[in-house]
Amino acid sequence: MVSPSRLHLPRAPARPGEAPDFSYLELSPAGAVGRPEVTAKARDIAPLALELVRVLDDRHDAVGPWHPHLDPGELQIGLRHMLLTRLYDERMQRTQRAGKISFYIRSLGEEAVSVAQCMALRPGDMLFPGYRNQGLHIARGLSLVDLMCQLLSNTRDMCKGRQLPVMYHSAAGRLFTISGNLATQFPQAVGWAMAAAIKGEDHIAATWIGEGSSAEADFHHALLFASVYQAPVLLNVVNNQWAISTFQANAGGEQRSFAARGPGYGIAGIRVDGNDFLAVHAVTQWAAERARTGSGPTLIELVTYRAAAHSTSDDPTRYRAKDDYLHWPLGDPIERLKQHLIKLGEWSEERHVAMTAELDAMIAASWKEAVTYGTLSDGPRLNPDLMFEDVFKEMPQHLQRQRALMRAEKG
Amino acid sequence: MAQMNMIQALNSAMDAMLQADPSVILMGEDIGYFGGVFRATEGLQRKHGEHRVIDTPIAEGAIIGAAIGMAVGGLRPVAEIQFADYIYPGFDQIVSELARLRYRSAGDFFAPVTIRTPCGGGIRGGQTHSQSPEGIFTHVSGIKVIMPSNPFDAKGLLITAIEDDDPVVFFEPKRLYNGPFDGDPNKAAIPWSTHPKGEVPEGIYRVPFGKADIVRSGSQVTIITYGTMVFVATLAAASLGVDAEIIDLRSLVPLDVDTICSSVKKTGRCVVAHEATRFSGFGAEILAIVQEECFWDLEAPIQRVAGWDTPYPHAFEWEYFPGPARVGAAIKAAMDPA
Amino acid sequence: MSAPGEYVFKMPDLGEGTVEAEIVRWYAKPGDLVAEDQAIVEVMTDKASVEVPAPVSGRVLAITGSAGDKVAVGSALIVFQLLESADQASAAVPRAAPATQAAPAAQAAPAAQAAADAAGAAGAAAEFGTSSAVPAGGSAKRVMTSPANRRRAREAGVSLHTLVGSGPRGRILQSDIAAVIGDPASPEPRSSEPRSSDPQTTEIKVIGLRRLIAERMSEAKRTIPHFAYVEEVDVTELESLRSHLNAQHASAAAPLTYLPLVVLALARTLRAFPQCNVRYDAERGVLVRHLSVHVGIATQTPDGLKVPVVRDAGSRSVWDLAEAIRAVTDRARANKSSREELSGSTITVTSLGKLGGIVSTPVINAPEVAIIGLNKAVERPVVLHGAIAIRRIMNLSSSFDHRFVDGHDAAAMIQRLKAYLEHPASIFIADPTRGEA
């Protein structure tokens, strides 16, 4: 008899052709989780990392101690930002398929994560996003034209042609430059927060990675430094269940929640329904206040679902059940907030349709303007001389020579 | 002016900068309370406070990642990596992030981080305390790479590094911390107190990047070198009675190509010497440049002196270390090729 | 000043103190594609005709001079349009066998010019077939030298292929190039006479072969302590043999003179007197003794005295020698000698035949140590076996280098030669004391 291997190999719950299966998810009922004081010690609130903070229940009512009691106007703004993010994503996805941009990453289903968190933070707080957090850029009011020009790498590209599409940044908007390397932003955000503390400012830093990236050393480095120095930072792990084709169990989510790594390092860890605008806002606001008042960093795991492909280079039907998103137990963030607002009498389907049309028109107009600054195939192009600038503050001799050689090459 | 050894000179640089610029902070393992395993930061935490001179966990990747964040946040961090042999966990943050921030954000973000680290052998430190990895960093666009050979240069270059808005990896040849070393282990150690380059101004002064130092003018052969090999080469040339022009690069990136080429065009003969391993070492880059720029002036093939292509051994320190004999053989070959 | 992509090839210094060369024949004309090393022009120096190889691959843009014109060394000879390396491979004109002019004939090398000295030693080696001067690597086309030297040679218009390297493995050193370029300050030879338009006088420039002869003669006389030894030789028997042989072989190419017989006898003699079959290497302070006897035959040509060489005289038959002597002297007179032919002798024989006089004091052909002169052969009354007889007598007037040949040895050698000549059969009989068959 062949003895079975003692090595455990994590598996995805459902593969293509199989029925979607989310029974592995550990959920708490809406409103069931308590809300500790902002000043609570991390070691006393460890169980928070295993529960799931929810405010909106399945009937779109806001319940429980985490209810943020936000102004309806605020919620409408949130809805608008989320919808704009989604519509922008859809339009840019189509644009990529039409060959007008080379690459795109959507955040379908994760709009609340970025938008709600951003709205719970202050404009002076420094954000260190990953590449699926475009809701932050939209919520911080970055011009769509500017974002599109970055996708086009055209003459108005904020990155001057140096970066892949979606790697935005904004110094004024306090949005750090996005890296193609995973998790590098985590310890950088901790350092920024340490600097704010050293300088005695009450700005905090917030940063985002996917659960898959939490396997990287930088994740652990960040938690260690955040803990040792009690840096005023929000460390967000967006658990959207998938890292390209790799299920979250492979990043360690099977044995323990990602939030639970927080208490492991001696910092607060909290797990929240990432598709619940109100819950996300509430948890973020709680963690931000902790950081600002010297109660230290928080590891926030946002439980959500990557509804679309990893990027325009990916096809998820090859590794997960088709339409599984429709079975996601925690619903859709835009739909849920919309229904909640309607229930409050503060929104309507008609207004939603109208807003959709308005935002679509705005996106279309922005695209029309963006392409005047150049496209992949025609219009003005960036000067390749730019390739040699910003390597250093001053261009050194050897780069001046290389630039001359490049110019000669082109004739 | 004061006589200082290299450690004192580095300490003096950091002290002066902590004093002059409130955004300067130091961070690293054992550097705060203890003053650093080589005493380079001795007394600085006591003088400037725990918030300015910070002890860190043993996590080189975190040290550099956090330093980047601090720099983006407006500070000017000087991070110590205890031995260059341990810099690799931080390599991703250096290469993928630090070196590229300015470029990928079109100048909207940059991180003026200085990374200081002791390097080099001659101390019987084996393979985890003797490496010279400068050639790995010179290959990455976007970082400056510096290696002083004496206290005067060390202080002036470190101040320049801290003030520079570009990231700098600052290598300190540990064998030279206390005195010059010419490669002969049987000689009594000479302290910096008797050496002219041990005379160091007290205040702030700068030694510019991109400018090599002609340590000795000569007409017969050009020796291009840096770090401990500056002294080894000086001894080798003197022993042979060769009138060598000895150039201490001290700044690898940016590189002083003009001084190198003027010298080789004058002498027609060239020896390149470094402690680091030979294959793909920084010396290969210098050779390539000399060949490109000075080909028609070369009387003989360019010679290269380096460490052997093995991990740095413990028991064979003096067979490994490129001493005066190896440099001497190279000088002879450059003077009279077979 | 050449334009970019152009190369101006200047008349190279072919050694031997040439200051100018006469164009004999062009092998290419403007518009032709030539490959590096391909013979491009034949020029005549004082000593020999030389084929000059193209220093680069390219297209000929312009040439200076036509056949018969003299071109000064260092002046522009050919302008090339340089080709890309791809074109080199497809250069239309096939490579001619390159002239092996690696070593200027040391035999004719003037002692006055430092130019030839450096090449001379190596040249000597090349003459005897041991090509230590040929660069390593097998290919005679590749020249080994440092980049700096290539630049120096290029700037001076010196073709590296015309040089012999004295460095390791035949590498050309800076000194080799400097030697060829020579002292830039050395003045043109000029007459110390004031220039005049006096119709009674004619000015003849001392250049070319005349200058060469003048220098070599001065040098030889200046450095070698000559001593003369004259002996009369009864060549009656020799004459008898000669006449007989000529009568027997009337159909042979040409009648024998004394010369081949004397040369053969000399070769036999030198076996016992190796110290007279020697070339002196002054630079190294070494006397190089040769086993073979290479005899220089002093020859009067329309241009002046030349000394072509018959190699390995001792192993040839009389007829072979006669033919060889005639061939080399004919070529010398016709100015068709190759450089090898004009160098490498270990001893020289000089004969003015009927003009020979009774005694002469020939000048040694440096770096040899002996020269044998044949005076006129006349009938004289001599005392033979106590009675007056009429015998044919020819004097041998020889000069020796007294540094290296003592009087006794010189005398003994001439006596031996005399013995052979007076008893010609002995020339052809093996000497049992020397273990010969």
Q: Of B48, B51, B129, B195, which one is the catalytic site residue?
A: B129
Tokens of B279: 């294959």
Best to test chain A binding among B29, B50, B105 (most A CBs inside 10 Å): B105
CA angle A251, A253, A254 (to 5 degrees): 115
Please give the span between the terminal C-alpha atoms of chain B, in angstroms, as a whole number. Answer: 49
Same domain assignment for residues B232 and B316:
yes
> How far from A341 is each of A71, A109, A281, A349, B37, CA to CA, in Å?
11, 18, 15, 10, 62
Lowest mean pLDDT among B84-93, B167-176, B315-324, C13-22: C13-22
The answer to whether residues B146 and B17 belong to one domain is yes
Residues B20 and B121 placed together within one structural domain of the fold? yes
Q: What domains are defined for chain C?
A: 6-142 (2.40.50.100), 222-434 (3.30.559.10)
Of B168, B200, B232, at which residue does a domain stop? B200
Please tell me whether residues B219 and B170 are part of one structural domain. no
Q: What is the rounded distance in angstroms from the CA atom of residue C361 to the CA atom of residue C230? A: 9
Select from B57, B166, B255 the Cβ nearest to the Cβ of A393. Answer: B166
Q: Which residues pair with B79 in a beta bridge?
A: B27, B115
Task: Tell me whether residue B207 is in a domain.
Answer: no
Segment (H or E) for C50: strand C49-53
Choose from A95-109, C48-62, C335-349 the range with maximum mean pLDDT: A95-109
Instruction: Mark whether B76 and B108 lie in a shared domain.
Output: yes
- Which chains share 3+ C-beta pairs under 8 angstroms with A? B
Q: Which residue of B has its CA nearest to C169?
A: B338
pLDDT at C14: 66
Predicted pLDDT of residue B10? 98
Q: Which of these three, B200, B221, B253, is where a domain ends? A: B200
Residue B15 is predicted with a pLDDT of: 98
Q: In whole numbers, what is the pLDDT of chain C averaged over residues?
A: 79
A204 touches B at CB < 8 Å: no
Query: Rounded to an integer, what distance in angstroms lies between the CA atom of residue B39 and that of residue B41?
Result: 5
Selected residue with higher pLDDT from C185 and B21 = B21
What pTM, to 2 d.p., does this model score? 0.69
Best interface-test mutation with C: which of B293, B297, B299 has the largest number of C CBs within 10 A? B299
Cα(C345)–Cα(C296) distance, integer angstroms: 5
Q: Which helix (H) or strand (E) holds C413?
A: helix C407-422
Cα–Cα nearest to B111, from B76, B146, B139, B78: B76
- Assign C17 a pLDDT band (cuts: 50, 70, 90): low
**pLDDT tens-digit map of B54-72:** 999 999 999 999 999 999 9
Q: What is the pLDDT along chain A (411 residues), one digit of tens a residue?
A: 678 889 999 999 999 999 999 999 999 999 999 999 999 999 999 999 999 999 999 999 999 999 999 999 999 999 999 999 999 999 999 999 999 999 999 999 999 999 999 999 999 999 999 999 999 999 999 999 999 999 999 999 999 999 999 999 999 999 999 999 999 999 999 999 999 999 999 899 999 999 999 999 999 999 999 999 999 999 999 999 999 999 999 999 999 999 999 999 999 999 999 999 999 999 999 999 999 999 999 999 999 999 999 999 999 999 999 889 999 999 999 999 999 999 999 999 999 999 999 999 999 999 999 999 999 999 899 999 999 999 999 999 999 999 999 999 987
Chain B interface disruption, residue of C144, C146, C149, C155, most B CBs within 10 A: C146
Q: What's the rounded Cα separation, in Å, for the pair A296 and A38?
A: 10
Within-domain flag for B321? yes
At B213, is the secondary structure helix, strand, or coil?
A: strand
Instruction: Spell out the long-range contacts of A287-293 with Cβ–Cβ below 8 A and sequence spacing 24 or more.
Output: A287/A234, A288/A120, A288/A121, A288/A122, A288/A125, A288/A204, A288/A206, A288/A234, A289/A38, A290/A38, A290/A39, A291/A193, A291/A204, A291/A232, A291/A233, A291/A234, A292/A202, A292/A204, A292/A232, A293/A38, A293/A39
Residues B196 and B217 in one domain: no
Chains C+A touching (3+ CB pairs under 8 Å): no
User: What would the two tokens of residue B109 be?
Assistant: 């973000």
pLDDT band, residue C186 (cuts 50/70/90) = very low
Lowest mean pLDDT among A367-371, B205-209, C83-87: C83-87
CATH code assigned at B326: 3.40.50.920
Among A391, A324, A341, which residue's Cα sits nearest to residue A12? A324
Neighbour count for residue C254 (Cβ, 10 Å): 9
Residue C369: alpha-carbon gap to chain centroid:
16
Q: Is residue B17 part of a domain?
A: yes
Say if B23 falls within a structural domain: yes
Give the tokens for residue A228: 């040792």
Q: Give the CA distances from residue A49 to residues A121, A221, A286, A306, in Å, rounded to whole numbers and listed in that order.
A: 21, 20, 14, 21
Residue C104: per-residue pLDDT:
39
* C-alpha distances in Å from residue C74, one per residue of A74, C63, C147, C376: 93, 14, 22, 46
Closest CB from B72, B101, B166 relative to A192: B72
- Rounded alpha-carbon distances, angstroms, from residue B240 to A200, B214, B271, B327, C330: 62, 19, 14, 10, 60
Distance CA A215, CA A246 (A): 12
pLDDT of residue C56: 80
Which amino acid belongs to residue C91? A
| A9-A12-A14-A15 Cα dihedral, nearest 10 degrees | -90
Residue C148 has its nearest CB partner, among B268, B337, B338, at B268
B302 assigned to some structural domain: yes
Q: What is the distance between the alpha carbons of residues A144 and A165, in angstroms, rounded to a whole number?
A: 14
Chain B residues close to C149, C-beta within 8 Å: 299
B189 and B220 housed in the same domain: no
Average pLDDT, chain B: 97
Is there a contact between C400 and C226 (Cβ–Cβ < 8 Å)?
A: yes
Residue C19 reports pLDDT greater than 80:
no
Measured between beta carbons, the chain A residues lying within 8 angstroms of B57 are 224-225, 228
Size of interface A-B (CB pairs under 8 A): 147
B240: amino acid identity, one letter: L
pLDDT score recorded for residue C195 = 57
- The reply to whether C401 belongs to the active site is no
DSSP state letters, B147-205: ---SHHHHHHHHHHHHH-SS-EEEEEEGGGSSS---S-TTSPPPPGGGSGGGEE-SS--
Q: CA C116, CA C104: separation in Å to the nearest integer?
A: 7
CA separation for the pair C362, C352 (Å, rounded): 11
Q: What's the per-residue H, E or C state across C84-146?
A: CHHHHHCCCCCCCCCCCCCCCCHHHCCCCCHHHHHHHHHHHHHHCCCCCCCCCCCCCCCCCEC
Decide if C385 is catalytic. Answer: no
In Å, what is the CA distance from B245 to each residue of A179, B271, B305? Answer: 46, 10, 16
Chain B residues within 8 A (CB-CB) of chain A? 25, 51, 56-57, 59, 61-62, 65-75, 77, 89, 92-93, 96-97, 101-110, 141-142, 144, 164-166, 210, 254-255, 257
Tokens encoding B122: 């001659």
Spot the catalytic one: C406, C408, C409, C423.
C406
CB contact under 8 A, C147 and B338: no
In a domain, B205, yes or no: no
Q: What is the CATH number of the domain that holds B68?
A: 3.40.50.970
3 state DSSP class of C226 = strand
- Given a cut of 70, whether residue C100 has pLDDT beyond it is no
Chosen for mutation from B60, B70, B78 (greatest number of chain A CBs closer than 10 Å) is: B70
Quote the CA–CA distance of B28 and B59 in Å, as a whole number: 9
Residue that is last in its domain, among B176, B200, B224:
B200
Q: Tell me: do B51 and B105 sit in the same domain.
A: yes
Which residues, 6 or more positions from A307, have their beta carbon under 8 angstroms from its beta carbon?
Answer: A108, A109, A110, A325, A328, A332
CA–CA separation, C138 and C352 (whole Å): 46
Residues from chain B that touch C155, judged by Cβ atoms under 8 A, are none
Residue B41 forms part of a structural domain: yes
Domain count along chain B: 2
What residues of chain B have any CB closer than 8 angstroms to a CB in chain C?
268, 295-300, 337-338
Q: Which of A360, A398, A404 is nearest to A94 (CA)?
A: A360
* CB distance B18 to B24 below 8 Å: yes
Query: Can you list the positions of beta strands (E) in C116-267?
Result: 226-234
Write the DSSP symbol of residue C11: P
User: How far is residue A299's CA from residue A264's CA, in Å, rounded to a whole number?
Assistant: 11
**Chain-chain contact of B62 with A397 (C-beta, under 8 angstroms):** no
Q: Which residue of C has its CA nearest to B268?
A: C148
For residue C372, give the 3-state DSSP assignment. Answer: strand
pLDDT at C28: 86
| Same domain flag for B178 and B271 | no
CB contact under 8 A, B300 and C146: yes
Tokens of residue B265, six digits: 């065009």
Predicted confidence band of residue B174 (pLDDT cuts 50, 70, 90): very high
Nearest CB to A393 within list B75, B97, B165? B165
> Are the beta carbons of B297 and C147 separated by less than 8 Å?
yes
Asked if C147 lies within 8 A of B295 by C-beta distance, the reply is yes
B239, B180: one domain: no
User: Between B178 and C170, whose confidence is greater?
Assistant: B178
How far is Cα C304 from Cα C204, in angstroms, rounded to an integer? 14
Chain centroid to Cα B21, Å, comes to 24
Q: pLDDT tens digits for B115-158?
A: 999 999 998 899 999 999 999 999 999 999 999 999 999 999 99
Residue B206 in any domain: the answer is no
Q: Where are the domains positioned within chain A?
A: 42-310+323-380, 384-411
pLDDT for C92:
43
What's the ipTM? 0.94
Closest CA to C40 of C22, C21, C60: C60
| Confidence at residue A397, expressed as pLDDT on a 0 to 100 scale | 93
First-to-last alpha carbon distance for chain A, in angstroms, is 73
**Are A234 and A265 a contacting pair, CB within 8 Å?**
no
Task: Note whether B284 and B262 are within 8 A (CB).
Answer: no
**CATH number for region A42-310+323-380:** 3.40.50.970
Residue A177, pLDDT score? 98
Domain of B162?
A: 2-200
Chain A residues in contact with B53 (beta carbon < 8 A): none
d(CA B5, CA B11): 10
